[in-house]
């Protein structure tokens, strides 16, 4: 692929206009909001890129929206991270790969976290294995990039605000370029 960033932006523009799994924002709005929150938090470029691309796996497969309603877990985090791995290194791909595990971790580790999830996020959690048990959570904190995945997860949950104003995709072009490995 000549220009993976252009490919990703085209994908977000053309295929990211579906509602984001039962939320009041589109998939692309959701990912822009997550990236904006990461940037405002002073996150490193690789983590801003991960926030922007964390759900790209949803756009890379063909099952359409609301698949959780059909009882399907598309493992979008694996699909997205594997695809991104051709163009970005682990600082980008691993927070993406672990952002579902981070939700399962936070539901175990942080009282009240589960209660704060949206209904759609609670529903997908069950398909993703439910909250971690204590042993799984203890293992997760030692996982490389686990802490970054937890940070990403918090932006993910917060990035569901209808009509929020964010920078456009182009705003993040230089950030993506800076962390591109090829
Ligand atoms: Fe998300």
Q: What is the CATH number of the domain that holds 158?
A: 1.10.3210.10
Highest-confidence range of 7-21, 70-84, 164-178, by mean pLDDT?
164-178
Q: How many domains does the chain have?
A: 1
Mark the residues whose beta carbon lies below 5 A from ion ligand 1: 55, 156
| pLDDT for the residue 1 | 73
Q: Which residue has the higher pLDDT, 9 or 23?
A: 9
Tell how far the Cα of 65 is from the centroid of ligand 1, in angstroms: 13
Q: What is the mean pLDDT of the chain?
A: 92
pLDDT tens digit string along 106-129?
999 999 999 999 998 999 999 999
Burial of 156 (0-12, 13-18, 19+ CB in 10 A): buried
Task: Residue 108: give the domain boundaries.
Answer: 4-179
82 CA to centre of ligand 1 in angstroms = 17
Could you tell me if 97 and 79 are in contact, meaning their C-beta atoms sit under 8 angstroms apart? no
């Amino acid at each position: 692929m000549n220009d993976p960033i252009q490919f990703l932006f085209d994908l977000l523009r053309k295929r990211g206009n579906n509602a984001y799994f039962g939320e009041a924002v589109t998939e692309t709005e959701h990912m822009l909001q997550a990236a904006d929150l990461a940037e405002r938090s002073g996150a490193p470029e690789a983590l801003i890129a991960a926030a922007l691309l964390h759900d790209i796996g949803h756009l890379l497969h063909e099952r359409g929206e609301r698949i959780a309603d059909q009882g399907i877990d598309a493992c979008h985090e694996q699909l997205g991270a594997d695809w991104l791995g051709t163009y970005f290194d682990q600082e980008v791909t691993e927070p993406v790969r672990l952002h579902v595990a981070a939700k399962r971790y936070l539901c175990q580790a942080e009282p009240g976290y589960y209660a704060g999830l949206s209904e759609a996020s609670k529903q997908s959690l069950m398909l993703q294995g439910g909250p971690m048990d204590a042993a799984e959570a203890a293992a997760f904190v030692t996982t490389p990039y686990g802490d970054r995945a937890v940070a990403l997860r918090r932006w993910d949950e917060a990035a569901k605000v209808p009509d929020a104003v964010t920078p456009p995709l182009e705003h993040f072009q230089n950030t993506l370029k800076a962390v591109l490995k090829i």
